[in-house]
Structures are given as structure tokens and as C-alpha cells.
Amino acid sequence: MKKIENSTPRKDGYRMPGEFERHSGTYIIWPERPDNWRLGGKPAQNTFVEVASVIGKYEPCTVLVSSWQYANAREMLPDYIRVVEMSNNDSWVRDCGATFLVNNEGNLRADDWSFNAWGGLVDGLYFPWDKDDMIAQKMCELEHADRYRLDDFVLEGGSIHTDGEGTLLVTEECLLSAGRNPDKSKEEIENILKEYLNVDKVLWIPKGIYNDETNGHVDNMCNYVKPGEVVLAWTDDVNDPQYARSKEAYDYLTNEVDAKGRHLKVHKLLIPKKPILITQEESEGVDAVDGTLPRQEGDRMAASYVNYYTGNGFVALPVFGDEHDELAIEKLKELYPDRNIEPIYAREILLGGGNIHCITQQVPFRK
């Protein structure tokens, strides 16, 4: 498939649809690296099987897997999941994968951003990341989609959410971080986003979730339910370090309008009641390797129900065995009356540093 030179999605009439729009399918990458997933990824693999199995009930789901783990993944996943061998550095397809775009005729293209493992040599989470940086291109081959490759612009899919109608949500904490595009101003970054996602307005939430190792990805903090309506991670506990972050975001969002001039409706979604901390057993199960973020006993993980995935007729919602799980389920049932809410116990994904949204990537519906 072609790398498109000298043009942009905006010039060519392609846009990134909202995740809540109809999909052709979903991609996931199989977890295995022992310095990120405990016990060589075995517990996480069970959860990934659960996530893929749920998604595959509603839309085609493809799991990408290294040659080393291919036979195991094929054995563990149900037959209705497509399993494709693809080399990788880790399993965060939201971030290293293609950002797919469509035009009014229903044709598919993609943005292929530069990926540097969430901050490169400044504060990135592992080295090297060369295989991950090729995942988007390979997904485009599988989907028969031409791509726009941005060699000079670092971005992860988890750091953007769009309403598909011209507005993009990001956080300043992430997009202006020192390890991504330090040579570009906020205005330059905004212009690239407008050109490559075909949006007219970027909403800059100041910060994401406390202790999020991605420098505050928006997909853990705020998500579009539909155009004009978002959910925001929230706590009422003013002593929680999350409080000031959520309050600042709430104040910002409720005082802004989107690209179409709408005031946003902001739904608060409580984070887990009790902070979710890494246990000694969990910490000891992860290989401590120089150059990879350590997993230390007692560290607070960036648990948020906002990191859910919206697909055809369903929402896959991470739950944590916390008192607030039920509130999150009820809230999402209210917000998505036409979709099944599928709660999945996701502690093992959280331990790897993200959640269900971070391990999935949608392919929008194409004709």
C-alpha cells in the first residue's frame, strides 16, 4: 500500500470518525514482555483473551502476535478471532497502531504517527520501540489502506479523542511533554492535528490521571459519548491528588464550546473509591530491567473507568473489584442505552500501565 506524499487528510477529504461510529473491526496486540507484564504475561494473556472474546461477539477482531507466541495465542483465543503474526515491542495498539480515517465515499486511509514509547530517551517506557513504530504501516497493509506517515511528529492514539464532527480532545500534559515534540510550539502541534485529523478545534484539557505513565493520555481522563457529550474521570475527595486535576478539567470543559459552537455536557464518572496499589506479589512478578519503568510495591496505578472501548453495540468497561464498579456500570448503561455494557475485570491490564481502551484500535466502517 502507498505512503501518500505531499498531501494531508484535510486536503484529501479524510477525517477521523468518532469511536462510537460504526466499525469494520478491532485490533489488539498479544502481551508477552516480562519486564512489563507479570509472570511473562500469563495472567494478562487471560484478560486479553476475555477482551478479544467480548469484542469478537460484536465485530471482527484481529489479534496481532509475535512468532514466538503465535501458537499459544491461537490456542487460547476463540476460533472467531483472527490471529496474525506481527513482530512488536509490546501490546498497546491504541498507541502504536494506525489512526484510521474515512472520506464521504467510505474509503479508508490512515495516519501513521511516529511512535517513541511515550517519550523516547527523555522519559519513554522502554527501548527500543522500532517494531512498534512499524505496526501502523503493517495494519494498513492488512486493511488495504494508504497512509500518511509523519516522520517528524510523535503522537499516540491514546492521546486523542474526537467527536468526528470537527473537535479533538487532548491534554497539555501529554502533547506538550518534553519527550514528544519539544521543537514544536503548541500552535504548531495544533495545526498538525487539524491537518492530519481534519478537525477545526482542539480542546486542551490541562492534565490527565494522576500517576499515568503516559504523561496523562486523554483516553484515561475524558471520552466522547457522542458529539457534545463527554465523560470525565472524577473524585469528590478533595484530598485525593486526582481532585485538582479533574476539577481543572471540568472547569475548562464546561467553559468551552466545540467546533460547532456547542457547550459540552460533562458527565462525571467516579474513579475507584480505594486507590489501586501494586502488591508485593505483583511487583515481584515483573522482571526489573534497566530502561523499563519499575513496578514497585505500593505504587498507585492510574485506574479509571473512562478507559473503556466503544464498539458496535457494546462498551467494554474495565472494572477493578472496587465499590465504585457498580456505579460506573450503571452510569454507562444510562449514557449508552443502545449498547450492551460489558464489564471486564481488568487489573492485569492496569498493571501493565493502561487499560482496555489502550489495548484496542478500531477500524471505522468502510464501504
Pick from 95, 169, 64: which is nearest to 357 by CA? 95
| Least distance CB 33 / ligand KQY (angstroms) | 9
- Burial group, residue 120, by CB count within 10 angstroms (0-12, 13-18, 19+): middle
Judged by beta carbon, residue 135 or residue 264, the one nearer ligand KQY is 135
Residue 367 is given by DSSP the state -
Judged by beta carbon, residue 160 or residue 358, the one nearer ligand KQY is 358
Judged by beta carbon, residue 171 or residue 198, the one nearer ligand KQY is 171
Q: Is 12 helix (H, G, I), strand (E, B) or coil?
A: helix
Judged by beta carbon, residue 39 or residue 293, the one nearer ligand KQY is 293
Which residues belong to the active site?
358
| Residues 6 or more apart whose Cβ sits within 8 Å of residue 79 | none
Half-sphere exposure of 67 (CA within 13 A, CB side): 1
Distance in angstroms (rounded) separating the CA atoms of residues 30 and 90: 8
214 near ligand KQY, rule: CB under 6 A: yes
Spatial contact of 207 and 252, defined as CB atoms under 8 Å apart: no
Write the binding mask 3 to 42 for ligand KQY: x where contact by CB under 6 A, - elsewhere: ---------------------------------x------
Judged by beta carbon, residue 102 or residue 319, the one nearer ligand KQY is 319
Taking only Cα atoms into account, the Rg of the chain, rounded to an integer number of angstroms, comes to: 19
Judged by beta carbon, residue 93 or residue 264, the one nearer ligand KQY is 93
Write the binding mask 338 to 357 for ligand KQY: x where contact by CB under 6 A, - elsewhere: --------------xxx---
Write the binding mask 71 to 100 for ligand KQY: x where contact by CB under 6 A, - elsewhere: ---------------------x-xx-----
- Give the binding range for ligand KQY (CB under 6 A) out of 18-26, 147-155, 209-217, 324-332: 209-217
Distance in angstroms (rounded) separating the CA atoms of residues 46 and 77: 9
Q: Please, which of residues 47-66 interact with ligand KQY by CB under 6 A?
A: none
| Least distance CB 177 / ligand KQY (angstroms) | 14
Distance in angstroms (rounded) separating the CA atoms of residues 360 and 362: 7
**Set of cell numbers at residue 354:** 493502561
Q: Please, which of residues 281-310 interact with ligand KQY by CB under 6 A?
A: 293
DSSP readout, 172-223? HHHHT-TTT-TTS-HHHHHHHHHHHHT-SEEEEES--STT-TTTS-GGGTEE
| Least distance CB 220 / ligand KQY (angstroms) | 7
| Least distance CB 354 / ligand KQY (angstroms) | 3
| Least distance CB 2 / ligand KQY (angstroms) | 28
Please state whether the peptide bond connecting residue 241 to the residue before it is cis, i.e. omega within 30 degrees of 0.
Answer: no
Distance in angstroms (rounded) separating the CA atoms of residues 251 and 205: 10
Q: Please, which of residues 99-158 interact with ligand KQY by CB under 6 A?
A: 125, 158
Write the binding mask 158 to 177 for ligand KQY: x where contact by CB under 6 A, - elsewhere: x-------------------
| Least distance CB 206 / ligand KQY (angstroms) | 19
Question: Cβ atoms within 10 A of the Cβ of 333, count?
Answer: 14
Judged by beta carbon, residue 214 or residue 283, the one nearer ligand KQY is 214
Spatial contact of 110 and 99, defined as CB atoms under 8 Å apart: yes
**Set of cell numbers at residue 172:** 497539555
| Least distance CB 161 / ligand KQY (angstroms) | 12
Residue tagged 466522547 (cell numbers): 224
Interface positions with ligand KQY (CB under 6 A): 36, 92, 94-95, 125, 158, 213-214, 217, 293, 352-354, 358
